[in-house]
């Protein structure tokens, strides 16, 4: 039997055994690099490294493929938007007077006729796509490889109030259940003849909109069940409690934290002082 949200089933790896705080430090350092690096080449390397880290940490290729499928339309939209419309920012970043056209939409096309798709805009779009992919995958890399209870303990050790830590971990636990519920409702719609692959865009939107009623109802029921269960188990939100497992940073965790802090500092210094990671230092001639 697969658990809800099959992604949350990574095999034990060296990364998954790390303390949550060490993972968080590594993820924050990588996120900083993703935000600061506008260079599409470096951004692509970081995104590929993140995908590799996910696979190495035991997150299944199927899950990554699913994320890719879901995000593909948005990522394509990003590339198109920057390629066609992001002129001023790219001109400023490159210091050029004009952008290099890659292609021009035939003038006879309605609405988009004569629009120019620039090479620099395209590369900036690729950079934004790489940032998005990296940031998108860093979250599951950190969260899906950690037992929710260890997340709570780790956050509490970082002085996060227990109530907030518990709410955060509960959200993580609830999310796969919600996805499962959405899947079941979509399945029920298919069984009434509403298979989205057989529909046009407008009908798809209308059909998906109708998912909201049963999903909301199901989510409310599940939330109420969870509240009953929590109350019946003596949960009061009080920070006065004990833990079955402690959160031990350990030598490996300390090394990861130290390396992450150093890497983050290096990324900032190199970006500000040597402009490494800046857009113009990338694939442009």
The residue from 104, 171, 236, 252 that contacts other proteins (CB under 8 A) is: 236
Bridge partners, residue 49, by sequence: none
Residues 205-234 that bind other proteins (CB under 8 A): 210-211, 213-214, 217-218, 221-222, 225-234
Is residue 185 a contact residue for other proteins (CB under 8 A)?
yes
Packing angle of the helix pair 119-143, 20-36 (nearest 10 deg): 170
In the complex with other proteins, the residue whose CB is nearer, 159 or 240, is 240
Q: DSSP H helical segments within the chain, as ranges?
A: 14-17, 20-36, 40-56, 61-85, 88-94, 119-143, 148-157, 162-190, 201-209, 212-232, 250-273
Is residue 184 a contact residue for other proteins (CB under 8 A)?
yes
Determine the 3-state secondary structure of 117 from DSSP.
strand
Is residue 61 a contact residue for other proteins (CB under 8 A)?
no
Is residue 58 a contact residue for other proteins (CB under 8 A)?
no
The residue from 101, 103, 147, 248 that contacts other proteins (CB under 8 A) is: 147
Stretch that binds other proteins, among 112-120, 244-252, 262-270, 276-284 (CB under 8 A): 244-252
The residue from 108, 202, 240, 251 that contacts other proteins (CB under 8 A) is: 240
Q: 285 and 55 in contact (C-beta within 8 Å)? A: no
Is residue 2 a contact residue for other proteins (CB under 8 A)?
yes
Residues 86-145 that bind other proteins (CB under 8 A): none
Provide CB contacts within 8 A for 192, sequence distance 6+.
Answer: none
Which position has the token pair 């003849």? 193
Alpha-carbon gap, residue 258 to 275, rounded angstroms: 24
Q: Which of 116, 111, 129, 104 is nearest to 48 (CA)?
A: 129
Is residue 246 a contact residue for other proteins (CB under 8 A)?
yes
Contact residues toward other proteins (CB under 8 A) are 1-4, 9, 62, 147-149, 170, 173, 181, 184-185, 187-195, 198, 210-211, 213-214, 217-218, 221-222, 225-236, 238, 240-246
């Amino acid at each position: 039997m697969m658990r809800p949200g099959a992604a949350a089933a990574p095999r034990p790896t060296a990364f998954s055994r790390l303390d949550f705080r060490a993972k968080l430090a590594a993820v924050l350092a990588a996120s900083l690099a993703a935000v600061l690096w506008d260079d599409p080449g470096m951004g692509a390397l970081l995104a590929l490294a993140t995908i590799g880290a996910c696979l190495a940490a035991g997150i299944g290729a199927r899950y990554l493929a699913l994320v890719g499928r879901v995000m593909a339309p948005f990522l394509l939209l990003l590339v198109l938007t920057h390629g066609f419309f992001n002129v001023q920012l790219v001109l400023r970043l490159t210091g050029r007077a004009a952008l290099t056209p890659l292609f021009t939409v035939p003038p006879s096309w309605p609405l988009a006729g004569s629009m120019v798709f620039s090479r620099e805009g395209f590369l900036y779009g690729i950079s934004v796509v790489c940032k998005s992919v990296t940031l998108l995958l860093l979250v599951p890399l950190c969260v899906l490889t950690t037992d929710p209870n260890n997340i709570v303990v780790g956050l509490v050790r970082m002085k996060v109030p227990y109530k907030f830590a518990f709410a955060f971990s509960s959200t993580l636990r609830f999310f796969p259940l919600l996805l499962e519920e959405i899947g079941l409702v979509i399945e029920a719609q298919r069984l009434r003849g509403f298979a989205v692959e057989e529909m046009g865009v407008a009908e798809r939107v209308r059909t998906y909109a109708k998912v909201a009623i049963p999903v909301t109802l199901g989510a409310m029921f599940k939330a109420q069940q969870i509240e009953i269960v929590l109350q019946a188990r003596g949960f009061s939100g009080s920070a006065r409690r004990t833990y079955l497992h402690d959160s031990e940073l350990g030598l490996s965790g300390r090394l990861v934290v130290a390396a992450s802090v150093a890497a983050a500092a290096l990324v900032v210094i190199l970006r500000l002082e040597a402009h490494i990671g800046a857009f113009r230092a990338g694939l442009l001639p």
